[in-house]
């Protein structure tokens, strides 16, 4: 993990936030390549969940909702973790995760293990961030930053199902920021207080819920494989009854083997009719499906939910490699070409040669119409290749002496380092085709 964090910082994927003011624990800002990688993850999710399906619609609901939403959903009463304080070291810990925590004075020991530890009784700590709406300072102005995007979907069920006549089974998908005042954020982006969720609520006739639950676990598992994550580092783990959230009648985590061990990457839950029933009771608006013949029912809901951050960390950990090529070390991100932030680099071999630079500029201008590409003319060619390897660019096109003679370029492949020559005029279609090819991690 440390190597990935250091690469992210060195190459401008992710920076600790507010650093010039001493930072703000576990809060991060995304730099150029981080933004590009996040955009790819989001757009691949949206493509699979919405663009390629007939049974899905998109939504973008507000971050701050009427506080009654969170009463109805159970978050005001129950979205909490047990917390203990240590009066000696002044640190806070999750009472249910003490075995993973370190004492503030003696980090080799767990909280409570040292004679000087003085832990309080556990108390429930609500993870929602409170804010105020408008100028009034009384209790009526209290509102919350959403801790999940899901509730914005449930409260729009009527708009989509009844007004747009979407018949179950159908889904509503949205991506957007969620906020949780986590007691113990950490492990880089794995657990942060502000993260971008990608959630979909799939509304089904009650009798079909089990079938769709199994269907979505399989779909989502295969989607992560398709991103290029190694199969050996992915697994599905079904929650025990005690572990499940208050709304769930069945939950399975798609777990990834992070450097900190097997952890939840994505959760797939069978939420039954909990949410629609709760919002019907609290709002007085019936959230149900009415068949043509007049038969009514409250649909059950299957929910796959994941954050971009958890995928981001998994992709980088999976792709990070250090190796020796010839007598030189290189760091390479073996990312699936479709998620790589930059799809190709365009490099004039001799930057002082005006003709090479002109050809390279022309190729860059042609390619960037369709792909995110990067032009680089600073430093020796070997260094430029390694800079691109480090950010995961799958191909580099080099304009050299031969280009000026016969209108061909060299294409260098990131993982195998193989090189071949292509006609300059065919580079765009070659790249288009290369991006469509199946791709597998090399050391599965």
Query: Cβ atoms within 10 A of the Cβ of 69, count?
Result: 22
Our finding on whether 307 is near ligand GAP (CB under 6 A) is: yes
Binding residue for ligand GAP (CB under 6 A) from 180, 220, 230, 300?
A: 180
Nearest residue to 307 via CA among 198, 189, 194: 198
> Cβ of residue 138: shortest distance to ligand GAP, in angstroms?
30
Only one of the segments 134-142, 203-211, 307-315, 387-395 lies at the binding site for ligand GAP (rule: CB under 6 A); that segment is 307-315
Our finding on whether 197 is near ligand GAP (CB under 6 A) is: yes
Q: What is the C-alpha to C-alpha distance for residues 244 and 303, in angstroms, rounded to an integer?
A: 14
Our finding on whether 150 is near ligand GAP (CB under 6 A) is: yes
> How would you label 122-146 residue by residue, b for 16+ Cβ within 10 Å and e otherwise?
beebbbbeeeeeeeeeeeeeebbbb
Q: What is the C-alpha to C-alpha distance for residues 255 and 234, in angstroms, rounded to an integer?
A: 6
The number of residues that bind ligand GAP (CB under 6 A) is 18
Our finding on whether 174 is near ligand GAP (CB under 6 A) is: no
Backbone angles phi, psi at 193, to 5 degrees: -90, -20
Only one of the segments 50-58, 84-92, 105-113, 261-269 lies at the binding site for ligand GAP (rule: CB under 6 A); that segment is 261-269
Backbone angles phi, psi at 389, to 5 degrees: -55, -40
Our finding on whether 1 is near ligand GAP (CB under 6 A) is: no
Q: Which helix (H) or strand (E) holds 57?
A: strand 56-58
Cis peptide before 169 (omega within 30 of 0): yes
Our finding on whether 199 is near ligand GAP (CB under 6 A) is: yes
Q: Measured from the CB atom, is 313 or 396 closer to ligand GAP?
A: 313
- Do residues 330 and 386 make contact, with C-beta atoms less than 8 angstroms apart? yes
Q: Measured from the CB atom, is 151 or 408 closer to ligand GAP?
A: 151
- Do residues 29 and 9 make contact, with C-beta atoms less than 8 angstroms apart? no
Only one of the segments 81-89, 204-212, 262-270, 402-410 lies at the binding site for ligand GAP (rule: CB under 6 A); that segment is 262-270
- Do residues 227 and 336 make contact, with C-beta atoms less than 8 angstroms apart? yes
Q: Which residue is nearest to ligand GAP (CB)?
A: 307
Residue 50 is classified by DSSP as I
Binding residue for ligand GAP (CB under 6 A) from 195, 203, 216, 397?
A: 195
Q: What is the C-alpha to C-alpha distance for residues 255 and 239, in angstroms, rounded to an integer?
A: 12
Our finding on whether 309 is near ligand GAP (CB under 6 A) is: yes
Q: Is the dihedral of CA 291, 297, 302, 308 positive or negative?
A: positive
Only one of the segments 17-25, 35-43, 82-90, 303-311 lies at the binding site for ligand GAP (rule: CB under 6 A); that segment is 303-311
- Do residues 141 and 133 make contact, with C-beta atoms less than 8 angstroms apart? yes
> Cβ of residue 390: shortest distance to ligand GAP, in angstroms?
25
Binding residue for ligand GAP (CB under 6 A) from 148, 208, 288, 415?
A: 148
Our finding on whether 81 is near ligand GAP (CB under 6 A) is: no
> Cβ of residue 310: shortest distance to ligand GAP, in angstroms?
4
Only one of the segments 223-231, 299-307, 317-325, 419-427 lies at the binding site for ligand GAP (rule: CB under 6 A); that segment is 299-307
Sort 352 into a burial class: Cβ within 10 Å, 0-12 / 13-18 / 19+. exposed
Our finding on whether 305 is near ligand GAP (CB under 6 A) is: yes
Residues that bind ligand GAP (CB under 6 A): 148, 150, 180, 182, 191-192, 195, 197, 199, 264, 266-267, 303, 305-307, 309-310
């Amino acid at each position: 993990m440390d190597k990935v964090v250091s690469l992210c910082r060195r190459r401008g994927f992710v920076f600790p936030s507010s650093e010039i003011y001493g930072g703000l624990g576990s809060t991060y800002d995304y730099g150029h390549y981080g933004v590009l990688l996040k955009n790819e993850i989001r757009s691949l999710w949206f493509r699979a969940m919405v663009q390629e399906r007939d049974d899905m619609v998109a939504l973008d609901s507000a971050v701050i909702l009427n506080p009654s939403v969170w009463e109805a959903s159970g978050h005001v009463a129950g979205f909490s973790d047990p917390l203990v304080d240590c009066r000696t070291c002044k640190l806070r810990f999750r009472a249910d995760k003490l075995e993973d925590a370190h004492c503030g004075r003696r980090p080799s020991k767990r909280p409570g293990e040292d004679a000087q530890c003085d832990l309080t009784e556990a108390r429930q700590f609500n993870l929602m961030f409170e804010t105020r709406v408008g100028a009034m300072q009384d209790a009526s102005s209290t509102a919350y930053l959403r801790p999940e995007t899901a509730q914005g979907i449930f409260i729009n069920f009527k708009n989509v199902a009844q007004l747009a006549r979407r018949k179950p089974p159908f889904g509503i998908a949205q991506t957007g920021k969620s906020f949780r005042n986590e007691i113990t954020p950490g492990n880089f982006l794995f657990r942060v207080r502000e993260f971008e969720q990608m959630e979909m609520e799939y509304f089904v006739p009650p009798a079909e819920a089990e079938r769709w639950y199994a269907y979505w676990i399989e779909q989502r598992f295969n989607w992560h494989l398709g991103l290029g994550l190694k199969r050996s580092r992915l697994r599905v783990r079904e929650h025990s009854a005690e572990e499940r959230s208050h709304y769930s009648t069945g939950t399975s985590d798609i777990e990834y083997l992070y450097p900190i061990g097997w952890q939840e990457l994505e959760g797939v839950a069978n939420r039954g009719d909990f949410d629609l029933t709760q919002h019907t009771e609290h709002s007085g608006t019936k959230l149900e499906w009415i068949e043509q013949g007049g038969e009514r029912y409250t649909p059950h809901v299957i929910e796959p939910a994941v954050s971009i951050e958890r995928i981001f960390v998994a992709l980088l950990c999976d792709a990070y490699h250090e190796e020796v090529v010839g007598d030189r070390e290189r760091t390479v991100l073996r990312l699936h070409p479709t998620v790589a932030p930059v799809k190709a680099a365009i490099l004039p071999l001799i930057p002082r040669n005006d003709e090479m630079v002109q050809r390279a500029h022309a190729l860059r201008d042609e390619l960037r119409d369709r792909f995110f590409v990067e032009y680089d003319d600073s430093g020796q060619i070997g260094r430029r290749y390694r800079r691109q390897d480090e950010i995961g660019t799958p191909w580099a096109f080099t304009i050299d002496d031969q280009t000026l003679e016969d209108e061909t370029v060299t294409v260098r492949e990131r993982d195998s380092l193989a090189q071949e020559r292509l006609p300059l005029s065919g580079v765009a279609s070659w790249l288009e085709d290369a991006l469509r090819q199946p791709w597998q991690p090399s050391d599965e």
